[in-house]
Amino acid sequence: MKKWFYRLLLSYLPIFLVIVFVVIFISFLAMRDFSQKEAETANRLFLSYVKQTIEHSLKDIDNTVIKGILTDKSIGEFFYPTSDMNRYVVNSQASEKIQSLTGTNPVINSIYLVRLFDHTVMSKNAMMPLEEFGDRGFILKLLQDKEVPQNWSVLRSYSEFFDQKSSSVVTLVRKVPLQSGSEGFVVVNVGIDLIEKSLDDIYKSNIDLMNVVDTDGNLLFGTEVRNAKVQHTPTEEKGLPGMKSDYTGWEFRSGIGSNIVYSVFSIFSYIWIVFMLIAVCSGAVWIVFITRRNYKPIERIMGRIQHYSLQKSFELIGEKGKDEFNFIGTALDKLIEQSNEVQKQHKETQHYRRKYFFYELLYDADTISSEEWGAQMRALDLPEHAEQWSLVVFEMDKYAAFIDRYPSKDQHLLKFVLSSVIKEIADQHHLVVWTEWISGHHLVTLYQWPAKNDTRAVELCENVRKWVEQNLDFTVTVGVGNAAFQINDIQQSYEEASEALKYKSSLGGNRVIELEQVWTRSPGSETSKHVQIIRSLTQSFRLGEEEWEIKMNKLFDDLGSDIYTRDDIVSLMNYMMYHIFREISDFSVEIKEIWTKDALPRMNDLLNQFETLDDLQSGFLKLFSDALNRIEGQREHRDNRQLIQNVKVYVELHFDDPDLSLTHLGDAFQISSKYVSQLFKEAFGEKFSDYLTKIRVESAKKWLAETDIPVQDIAIKAGYIHTFSFIRVFKKMVGMTPGDYRKEFR
């Protein structure tokens, strides 16, 4: 194949090179006379354009920026301060104005103000005494000469600070006030490199030489600086035509370079036309001859292919009459296309499998066995065994402002940066991390400890938070759940992390929040007492228990025993309505519409109109009763009502069994465990695990309050094998440990 390639290449390449050379040679001769005649005119027009461009930019600075500064109120207050002014505000406003005007023209290097009565200099970056200012020599020269130049200065060096690298600039100075200059000066520095950068497109033209010098003969910019071959040759020795600016006094020079090439070719006559025709005809004959001779091996190969694979050939070619090269090209295209499609489908399938399993860990971990976990980890190329897991939720602060600030493409990029930082910091501690975006501003991260490690998830999250704060334009708040020692505990760790994030409104954003810390800081307050009653009330309402009315009356009795503002009462009622909505979020669409389309609007109207607490209590009792009656009516129409009631009774009788699970219920009632979970959610809007936990905790509270049974024995009676698991669940549900609960109750 390489021999065949080189043979074709060496056959056609000389033809191409010869023809191209001849065409370029003849074209160059043809354009010689015309180029020489137009060169001088083009140079003159070019110089005029460059001069007008620079003059317009400098005049714009003179007429717009300087006049704007001298007439601005904040600048006037800087030069004419009074005793009743806030110096900090005046200086800040003047600095902001300087910074704003610096950005009005891309060639402006800097602007600063000089106040004479106290020798103070104000720039966009700092305010300092004249003795500490990097451009002090230029200002002192102005003060010594006593006459401010009316035009732009010659080339000079400028730096704002003594240890700062200097820049080449030209300067315009205006007095304050304009006539006398008794109060100070306004100094505008225009960067030579910025002017040159604005003319980059002009340098890319066909002009070989272009230089600009100031009134002292200093080279400002041009090809002398940019081209090393002519850098040391004086501009005057090139005989360049020049043009002087009346406004700046600068001289603009340009040229087309050397004419030696044109002189050499001038000896040729116009017989080039005949040579061009002969060259083209000869090349055409040569190409036809070489092509016919070199095609014979290809023809023989294609004949053999068609002889042995006529049917496949027809599939690839499609129809009779297509050339042989199309046969080869089509076959290769189909193979590549099929390979890419298979690879793409594999990646998409892998991504969806990974995301689906992650969601299953967060929301339905009870159904995942250790065998299924191992199989999924092997399929996803992740470690199968771990000492423990930690679930963390990263929430982007001020997400609405983030969406308004960045376009969609930049949003995805910044989110990718956040995910990458989390993985990089985890890699530094030799940890496995799994991240998935579950919503626009929530990134869930699963840390996996393959062996014992002293690093805590809180430390990793704090490192991520600090990095984001220092390097990005947004911040994150992190909720951290307790460590999970079993696969089924990952879901609980996620719920704890989500719960910790709910305290963001109280604790503030841009921080790492542990649920354990929140529990130790907020037990036993009056607001916490009302919140516990509201949660218990909403759970009873969801389950259709008659105790909801007793709990609501107790809530209003507690509110009536103290003095609360209307805002406090409305806030608690809104919290209760929010919790009810969360409790029924897993109900059927018909049941949710009873609340969202009827009960919720009526409650909002009641909150806006009530005058006394009694009015609010009677109104809420009626609304809750009507909504519950309609919900119960919907439940009675469902086919599996009796089955799920039997399951509920069974759970209430056997909650102390440590092996009680969805699988256990499925075996007991001869149905699928996942079907039991689905029926439970549809009927009561609550997962089986949450309902079982509630029953166990309520029973434990009763034993703690009424008996002296040790906590370890109560944990076993409540269905927990490990005491620490019981304590953690109890603290999450009640807000305090079992021991503290027993002390407080008694």
**Lowest-pLDDT choice from 163-177, 182-196, 509-523:** 509-523
If one counts every other C-beta atom within 10 angstroms of the C-beta of residue 188, the result is: 25
Is the Cβ–Cβ distance between 602 and 534 less than 8 Å? no
* pLDDT on residue 470: 92
Answer whether residue 243 shows pLDDT above 90.
Answer: no
Answer whether residue 105 shows pLDDT above 70.
Answer: yes
The residue that leads in pLDDT, 73 or 67, is: 73
Please list, in sequence order, all residues whose beta carbon lies within 8 angstroms of the beta carbon of residue 164, skipping any fewer than 6 positions away: 134
Question: Is the entire prediction scored with pTM above 0.95?
Answer: no
Structure tokens at 420: 């990458």
Rounded Cα distance between 390 and 403, Å, is 29
* pLDDT on residue 10: 66
Is the Cβ–Cβ distance between 395 and 501 less than 8 Å? yes
Answer whether residue 313 shows pLDDT above 50.
Answer: no
Rg (CA), the chain: 42
Residue 177 preceded by cis peptide, ω within 30: yes
Answer whether residue 601 shows pLDDT above 90.
Answer: no
The residue that leads in pLDDT, 336 or 270, is: 336
- What's the rounded mean pLDDT across residues 166-190? 86
Residues β-bridged to residue 189:
110, 171
Is the Cβ–Cβ distance between 302 and 324 less than 8 Å? yes
Answer whether residue 196 shows pLDDT above 90.
Answer: no
Please list, in sequence order, all residues whose beta carbon lies within 8 angstroms of the beta carbon of residue 395, skipping any fewer than 6 positions away: 441, 442, 443, 476, 477, 478, 479, 501, 504
Residue located via tokens 């191409």: 16
**Lowest-pLDDT choice from 347-361, 446-460, 568-582:** 347-361
- What's the rounded mean pLDDT across residues 130-146? 86
Is the Cβ–Cβ distance between 366 and 688 less than 8 Å? yes
The residue that leads in pLDDT, 533 or 329, is: 533
* pLDDT on residue 478: 92
Strand-strand pairing, 209-213 and 219-222 = antiparallel
Answer whether residue 222 shows pLDDT above 90.
Answer: no
**Lowest-pLDDT choice from 82-86, 191-195, 499-503:** 499-503
* pLDDT on residue 223: 72
Is the Cβ–Cβ distance between 366 and 430 less than 8 Å? no
Residues β-bridged to residue 728:
none
Which whole-number Å values give the CA distances from 221 to 199, 211, 249, 251, 710, in the listed order? 10, 6, 15, 11, 90
- What's the rounded mean pLDDT across residues 46-56? 84
- What's the rounded mean pLDDT across residues 625-646? 70
Three-class secondary structure of residue 125 per DSSP: coil
Is the Cβ–Cβ distance between 188 and 195 less than 8 Å? no
The rounded percent of the chain whose pLDDT value lies above 90 is 6
Neighbour-count burial of 271, counting CB atoms closer than 10 A to its CB (0-12 exposed, 13-18 middle, 19+ buried) = exposed
Strand-strand pairing, 512-514 and 476-480 = parallel
Answer whether residue 638 shows pLDDT above 70.
Answer: no
pLDDT band at 203 (very low <50, low <70, confident <90, very high): low
Q: What are the φ and ψ backbone dihedral angles of 602, each rounded to 5 degrees?
A: -65, -40
The rounded percent of the chain whose pLDDT value lies above 70 is 74
Please list, in sequence order, all residues whose beta carbon lies within 8 angstroms of the beta carbon of residue 288, skipping any fewer than 6 positions away: none
- Nearest alpha-carbon partner for 214 in 160, 253, 158: 253
Model confidence pLDDT, tens digit, residues 512-550: 988 766 655 544 445 556 777 887 787 777 777 778 888
Rounded Cα distance between 520 and 744, Å, is 15
Answer whether residue 589 shows pLDDT above 80.
Answer: no
Please list, in sequence order, all residues whose beta carbon lies within 8 angstroms of the beta carbon of residue 462, skipping any fewer than 6 positions away: 512
Alpha-helical (H) ranges within 399-521 are 399-405, 408-428, 457-471, 490-501, 504-507, 515-521
Answer whether residue 239 shows pLDDT above 50.
Answer: no
Alpha-helical (H) ranges within 670-719 are 673-684, 688-706, 711-717
Rounded Cα distance between 540 and 544, Å, is 6
**Please, what's the b/e burial string for 100-121 (b: 16 or more CB within 10 A of its CB; e: otherwise)?**
ebbeebebbbbbbbbbbeeebb
Answer whether residue 317 shows pLDDT above 60.
Answer: no
**Please, what's the b/e burial string for 74-92 (b: 16 or more CB within 10 A of its CB; e: otherwise)?**
bbbbbbebeeeeeeeebbe
Answer whether residue 236 shows pLDDT above 50.
Answer: no
Answer whether residue 2 shows pLDDT above 50.
Answer: no
Three-class secondary structure of residue 168 per DSSP: strand
* pLDDT on residue 522: 45
**Lowest-pLDDT choice from 116-130, 198-212, 414-428:** 198-212
Answer whether residue 404 shows pLDDT above 80.
Answer: yes
* pLDDT on residue 214: 85
If one counts every other C-beta atom within 10 angstroms of the C-beta of residue 34, the result is: 9
**Lowest-pLDDT choice from 139-153, 278-292, 485-499:** 278-292
Which whole-number Å values give the CA distances from 426 to 157, 446, 465, 468, 681, in the listed order? 49, 11, 13, 15, 37
Q: Which of 46-60, 409-423, 515-529 has the highest mean pLDDT?
A: 409-423
- What's the rounded mean pLDDT across residues 590-609? 81
- Nearest alpha-carbon partner for 444 in 459, 456, 453, 457: 457
Rounded Cα distance between 270 and 272, Å, is 5
Rounded Cα distance between 539 and 580, Å, is 8
Q: What end-to-end distance do the CA atoms of the chain give, in Å?
A: 94
Rounded Cα distance between 708 and 711, Å, is 9
Average pLDDT, the chain: 77
Please list, in sequence order, all residues whose beta carbon lies within 8 angstroms of the beta carbon of residue 538, skipping any fewer than 6 positions away: 576, 579, 580, 582, 583
The residue ranges of DSSP E strands in 194-240, in sequence order, are 209-213, 219-222
Q: What are the φ and ψ backbone dihedral angles of 172, each rounded to 5 degrees?
A: -120, 130
* pLDDT on residue 169: 92
pLDDT band at 161 (very low <50, low <70, confident <90, very high): confident
